[in-house]
């Protein structure tokens, strides 16, 4: 164990840890911006500086390892001033539109500027240097004017997604994050997983599908499980006014952490699609007491595409009915089939998209109520 | 899967991926493997006829001919045995049937394996070397292994390989089929299969039947039911008269669409419970509006047997109802009409569920492996992988650590059998089918996702550049693909992802669904159709 002092308090810690890690373990707050626990530390924003006794310069806590006898100050005047200056330098190159920025309320730069009461310096550029919404990716909105060059996106893509889409180009004032060799994200082989967006601390990368739809405090987050593949990623559904308006990473997700794929993160808009079935439907002939065998001709006709539910003429047309009606028809028909042809004349296809509880019930319905083992699902397909 | 995804990603010295397009079909797990290879230096062997995305970072890519997995595996095992690289202690202590198995493998010297598979002999040796030196190696597969008439035998041969190498029951090893759908594992666990009750209790077992007869007050005869691939033709034979389909779309997902259409047309009565008017709804007599995962609470079980809580986030849309409610209502009404069957005093005879947590409580009592999994525990943040038999059991991340379910692991002698459909002069090429990153299965959900359609808005058929030249395609062009059963037209994507002589098509788009062409030749045991090998003819349009 290593002995050291943080803000005058003696502490023991395991060797090999960074100042930031030890500070966190002892509930000492050190602000960070480029650092993220899931990514390799790079130490390039200098937001986390602390003073180490005997050192000539302030040290970045996220990349400086501890040593025996180290004495650290995390909140003295020098440190606070330096951090504020760091923020002012970032703000000097940042548009002043927090008011309408999608990230406001969850922007780490905004939070820190507030904490340190940092303002845009009088000499700041304030302007817009780059095209806004500059990439055609349908899911990801890019506005490099808001970029603070923390490189989290670069690391998220490289280390989590293993894709290397983002990189840094040019130097000094012109330094900028680019996709590939300055091409579009998709051309740089982006898989639209949205990892870079999830890790971006500012409004430089945001989601197009819900851009401008809600402030962070206006959404309810509901932790749930992805309904696409068997990996079983967990994420939060973002809900506003009883509508799903987005998906965000849930850092505590057991399988996937912050990671999601394009389907899990962005293919949710089917939930409120206008084609959703919202009322039970039965074929007209069922309401007329007719048998299917009597209307075979109309069925052949009816299979040709027909728009909507208007003009209900053919016995094979759909009619919307109340639940009671539909359920009675189903039960009546199933019972009749069973009586006439036996339990094994019924078949049940349950669903690999539905809940365990629902699959259990389909199995119970087939085996208990009807008495057949004719139950399967699309595991084979 | 015998192991957990994170233990495989963290501890495997090597991955052997065969018949799984992991980065597109299980994308987040795919990125975990990418990480292990790129950051940790784990070795990666990919056996796949197609140059799928993950081959980019592979140590070795074996491009074997479709439908020659057994010859490939036996050839590799021949080399392992020839060089004495098998795990003798593991074979001795934990397995049986080795000698008979060995005799079969000895029929596959590398030269013969190379001839059948088209993988060069040197590559077979290199692969065997990696497999033998990297302990543990995790074997991963998906539908590329199972969707063959020899699917079950393919799987057994992979188990042979892992026993031979002593990679079973260890972190970072094991046999790991990646389950496709979000809850295909759970649907199987819950008895959504014709041969087993929940938790794989055979319908032919007296003990199991007795148990359910007691719990439910009625059960079935000791006779295995029909699989989906048997029910469809069963309609034409007059065996099946009515179907109740929950959230599935056979017109898109079953083989030989024309045949399926014909079958569904002949049905007396089809009830379809869906969120959209799918392609199959055209044939339905009743259409019941179910809900999406955002509108209900309950559990899904992922590919590593992890049971997780799905939470309702928004109210049900319109008059749509949670699927469990609909099924319960049908059950109640049907039970009134079939009054002589169910013994009403049985503890779980009834259907008066108020929520899915009550259903789970019933599952706890009849499903040993889910015995201790409750919504309350999951809500409290417990992470549970079945088997989890009691309320204080912590769950089981790795299976078979001490012994196999049946005691000793049995080696099975497995021989190569060529695919059912062979190319000939009229249908000279091989088509394989599957999904792409951006879409899901029959596409009912993803075709209604706007951004997805901007990135991948129409069916693309992968055609090798050599074939494109021979066929006279010029860059991107429309091709007609014809099999012995049907024909589709789609955009060609000229790419060396597929080898010459092979095309790859998906079934996400009704106007160009690969299943118009596929055939219903089934594995005799699993009844899974051979989607991965269809003989086709390709022409420019
Ligand atoms: S969306 Fe994913 S693949 Fe694309 S740039 Fe961001 S992290 Fe990389
Ligand atoms: S785009 Fe975002 S994550 Fe990337 S460097 Fe800029 S601010 Fe950081
Ligand atoms: S987010 Fe992607 S990888 Fe994760 S479960 Fe959903 S579909 Fe699978
Ligand atoms: S957080 Fe330490 S340098 Fe950025």
| pLDDT tens, position by position, A207-246 | 999 999 999 999 999 999 999 999 999 999 999 999 999 9
Interacting residues of A300 by C-beta distance below 8 A, sequence separation 6+: none
Q: Which of A223, A233, A236, A257 to mutate to test the pocket of ligand 3 (most atoms within 8 A of CB)?
A: A233
Cα A163 to middle of ligand 1, angstroms:
7
**Does residue B399 sit within a domain?**
no
B200 touches chain A (CB under 8 A): no
Say yes or no: B146 and B249 in one domain.
Answer: no
Alpha-carbon gap, residue A347 to B231, rounded angstroms? 7
B93: buried, middle or exposed (CB in 10 Å: 19+, 13-18, 0-12)? exposed
Of A209, A256, A370, nearest to B28 by CB-CB distance is A256
For residues B481 and B340, membership in a common domain is answered with no
Of the three residues B350, B379, B408, the one that is the final residue of a domain is B379
Task: Report pLDDT for B364.
Answer: 95
* B295 and B433 belong to one structural domain: no
Q: How many domains does chain B have?
A: 3
Separation of CA A314 and ligand 2 centre (Å): 60
In a domain, B390, yes or no: no
Mutant choice from B301, B451, B522 vs A, greatest count of A C-beta within 10 A: B451
pLDDT digits (tens, 9 = 90+) for A327-356: 999 999 999 999 999 999 999 999 999 999
Model pLDDT, residue B418: 87
Residue B414 lies in a domain: no
Per-residue pLDDT at B124: 95
Report the residue of chain B nearest A222, measured CA to CA: B313
Q: What is the pLDDT of residue A262?
A: 94
Helix ranges restricted to H, A260-372: 262-266, 284-287, 296-302, 323-341, 356-364
User: How is chain A split into domains, by residue range?
Assistant: 2-75, 128-272, 277-333, 342-381
Residue A306 has pLDDT above 60, yes or no: no
Task: Find the CATH number of the domain harbouring B264.
Answer: 3.40.50.740
- The pLDDT of residue A308 is above 70: no
Fold of A128-272: Alpha-Beta Plaits (3.30.70)
A43 lines ligand 4 (CB under 6 A): yes
**Given this model, what pLDDT does residue B534 score?**
87
Which domain does B535 fall in, by range? 429-540
pLDDT score at A126 = 63
Task: Tell whether B468 and B489 lie within a shared domain.
Answer: yes
Residues 6+ apart with CB under 8 A from B232: B250, B254, B259, B260, B263, B264, B520
Residue in chain B closest to A224 (alpha carbons) equals: B310
Question: Which of A209, A277, A300, A324 would best serve as a mutation to test chain B binding (most B beta carbons within 10 A)?
Answer: A277
Q: CB under 8 Å to A260, separation ≥6 — which residues?
A: A193, A194, A195, A198, A226, A233, A235, A247, A249, B28
pLDDT at B111: 95
pTM over 0.80: yes
Q: Are residues B53 and B85 in the same domain?
A: yes
Give the side-chain half-sphere CA count within 13 A for B237: 9
Average pLDDT of the segment spanning A357-373: 95
Q: Based on the domain organization, do B24 and B97 belong to the same domain?
A: yes
Statement: residue A125 has pLDDT above 80: no
With tokens 């991926």, the residue in question is B17
Q: Could you say which residues of chain B have pLDDT below 70?
A: 401-406, 475-476
Residues B210 and B239 in one domain: yes
Q: Is the pLDDT of residue A309 over 70?
A: no
Whether residue A300 is predicted with pLDDT greater than 80 in this model: the reply is: no
User: Do the domain assignments include residue B19?
Assistant: yes
Predicted local distance difference test score (pLDDT) of residue A378: 78
Q: Are B72 and B168 within one domain? A: yes
Q: Answer whether B105's CB lies under 8 Å from B75's CB.
A: no
The residues near A337 (Cβ < 8 Å, ≥ 6 apart) are: A345, A346, B241, B242, B268, B269
> Do residues B70 and B171 both lie within one domain?
yes
What is A113-126 written as a DSSP string?
Answer: HHHTT----TT---
Give the closest residue (by CA) to ligand 3 atom 6. A264
Q: Which of B152, B178, B204 is the last residue of a domain?
A: B178
Cα separation of A51 and A64, whole Å?
11
Decide: B388 and B395 in contact? Cβ < 8 Å.
yes
Whether B253 and B272 share a structural domain: yes
We report the CATH number of the domain holding residue B438 as 2.40.40.20
pLDDT digits (tens, 9 = 90+) for A33-82: 999 999 999 999 999 999 999 888 999 999 999 999 999 999 999 999 99
Is B405 within a domain?
no
**Exposure string (b/e) for A128-166, b if CB count within 10 Å is 16 or more?**
eeeeeeebebbbbbbbbbbbbbbbbbbbbbbbbbbbebb
What are A52's strand-pairing partners? A72
All residues of chain A having their beta carbon less than 8 Å from the beta carbon of residue B383 are 254
Q: What is the CATH number that goes with domain A2-75? A: 3.10.20.740
CA of A180 to the centre of ligand 1 (A): 11
Residue B86 domain-assigned?
Answer: yes
Position B531 scores a pLDDT of 79
**Bond into B387 cis (ω within 30):** yes
Please indicate, yes or no, whether residues B193 and B107 belong to a single structural domain of this protein. Answer: no
Q: What is the mean pLDDT of residues A177-181?
A: 92
Residue B23 belongs to domain with CATH number: 3.40.228.10
Query: Checking DSSP bridges between strand A2-6 and strand A234-240, what pairing results, if any?
Result: unpaired
B234 shares its domain with B352? yes
């Amino acid at each position: 164990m290593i002995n050291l002092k943080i803000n005058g308090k003696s502490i023991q810690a395991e060797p090999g840890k960074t100042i930031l890690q030890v500070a966190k373990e002892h509930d000492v707050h050190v602000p960070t911006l480029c650092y993220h626990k899931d990514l390799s530390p790079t130490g390039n924003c200098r937001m986390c500086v602390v003073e180490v006794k005997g050192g000539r310069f302030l040290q970045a806590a996220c990349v400086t390892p501890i040593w025996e006898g180290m004495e650290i100050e995390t909140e003295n005047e020098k440190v606070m001033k330096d951090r504020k200056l760091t923020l002012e330098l970032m703000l000097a190159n940042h548009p002043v539109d927090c008011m309408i920025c999608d990230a406001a309320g969850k922007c780490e730069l905004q939070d820190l500027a507030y904490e340190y009461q940092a303002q845009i310096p009088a000499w700041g550029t304030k302007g817009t240097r780059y095209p806004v919404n500059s990439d055609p990716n349908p899911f990801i909105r890019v506005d490099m004017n808001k970029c603070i060059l923390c490189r989290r996106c670069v690391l998220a893509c490289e280390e989590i997604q293993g894709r290397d889409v983002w990189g840094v180009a040019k130097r000094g004032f012109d330094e900028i994050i680019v996709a590939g060799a300055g091409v579009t994200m998709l051309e740089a082989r982006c898989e639209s997983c949205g990892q870079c967006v999830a890790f971006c601390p500012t409004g430089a990368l945001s989601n197009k599908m819900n851009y401008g739809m809600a402030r962070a405090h206006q959404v309810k987050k509901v932790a749930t499980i992805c309904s696409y593949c068997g990996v079983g990623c967990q994420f939060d559904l973002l809900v506003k006014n009883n509508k799903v308006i987005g998906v965000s990473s849930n850092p505590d997700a057991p399988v996937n952490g912050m990671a999601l794929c394009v389907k899990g993160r962005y293919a949710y808009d089917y939930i409120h699609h206008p084609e959703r079935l919202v009322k039970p439907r039965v074929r007209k002939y069922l309401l007329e007491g007719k048998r299917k065998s009597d209307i075979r001709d109309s069925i052949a006709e009816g299979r040709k595409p027909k728009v909507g539910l208007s003009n209900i003429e053919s016995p094979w047309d759909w009619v919307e009915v109340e639940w009671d009606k539909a359920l009675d028809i189903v039960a009546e028909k199933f019972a009749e089939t069973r009586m006439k042809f036996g339990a094994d004349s019924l078949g049940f296809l349950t669903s690999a998209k539905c809940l365990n509880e629902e699959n259990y019930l389909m199995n119970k319905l087939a085996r208990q109520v009807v008495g057949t083992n004719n139950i399967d699902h699309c595991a084979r397909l | 899967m015998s192991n957990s995804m994170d233990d495989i990603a963290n501890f495997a010295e090597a991955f052997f991926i065969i018949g799984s397009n992991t980065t597109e079909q299980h994308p987040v797990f795919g990125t975990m493997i990418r990480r292990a290879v790129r950051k940790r230096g784990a070795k990666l062997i990919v056996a796949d006829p197609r140059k799928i995305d993950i081959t980019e970072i592979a140590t070795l890519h074996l491009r074997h001919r479709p439908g020659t997995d057994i010859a490939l595996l036996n050839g590799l095992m021949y080399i392992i045995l020839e060089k004495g690289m098998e795990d003798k202690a593991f074979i001795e202590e934990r397995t049986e049937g080795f000698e008979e198995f060995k005799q079969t493998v000895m029929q596959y010297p590398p030269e013969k394996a190379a001839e059948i598979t088209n993988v060069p002999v040197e590559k077979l040796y290199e692969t065997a070397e990696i497999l033998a030196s990297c302990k543990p190696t995790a074997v991963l597969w998906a539908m590329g292994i199972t969707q063959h008439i020899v699917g079950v035998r393919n799987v057994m041969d992979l188990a042979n390989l892992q026993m031979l190498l002593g990679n079973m029951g260890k972190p970072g090893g094991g046999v790991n089929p990646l389950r496709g759908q979000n809850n295909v594992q759970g649907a199987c666990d819950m008895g959504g299969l014709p041969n087993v009750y929940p938790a794989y209790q055979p319908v032919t077992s007296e003990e199991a039947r007795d148990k359910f007869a007691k719990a439910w007050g009625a059960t079935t005869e000791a006779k295995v039911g029909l699989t989906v691939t048997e029910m469809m033709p069963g309609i034409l034979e007059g065996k099946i008269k009515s179907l109740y389909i929950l959230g599935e779309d056979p017109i898109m997902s079953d083989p030989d669409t024309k045949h399926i259409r014909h079958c569904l047309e002949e049905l007396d009565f089809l009830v379809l419970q869906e969120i959209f008017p799918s392609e199959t709804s055209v044939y339905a007599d009743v259409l019941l509006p179910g809900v999406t995962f955002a509108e209900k609470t309950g559990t899904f079980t992922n590919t590593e047997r992890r049971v997780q809580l799905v939470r309702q986030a928004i109210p049900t849309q319109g008059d749509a109802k949670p699927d469990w409610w609909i099924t319960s209502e049908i059950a109640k009404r049907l039970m009134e009409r079939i009054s002589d069957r169910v013994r009403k005093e049985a503890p779980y005879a009834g259907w008066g569920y108020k929520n899915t947590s009550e259903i789970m409580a019933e599952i706890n009592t009849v499903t040993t492996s889910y015995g201790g999994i409750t919504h309350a525990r999951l809500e409290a943040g417990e992470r549970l992988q079945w088997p989890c038999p009691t309320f204080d059991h912590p769950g089981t991340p790795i299976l078979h650590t001490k012994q196999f379910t049946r005691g000793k692991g049995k080696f099975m002698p497995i021989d190569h059998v060529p695919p059912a459909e062979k190319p000939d002069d009229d249908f000279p090429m091989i088509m394989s089918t599957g999904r792409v990153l951006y879409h899901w299965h029959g596409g009912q959900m993803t075709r209604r996702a706007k951004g997805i359609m901007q990135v991948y808005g129409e069916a693309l058929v992968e055609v090798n550049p050599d074939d494109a030249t021979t066929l006279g395609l010029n860059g991107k062009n429309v091709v007609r693909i014809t099999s012995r059963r049907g024909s589709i037209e789609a955009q060609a994507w000229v790419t060396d992802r597929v080898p010459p002589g092979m095309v790859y098509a998906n079934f996400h788009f009704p106007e160009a669904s690969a299943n118009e062409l596929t055939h219903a030749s089934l594995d005799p045991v699993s009844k899974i159709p051979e989607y991965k090998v269809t003989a086709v003819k390709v022409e420019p349009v």
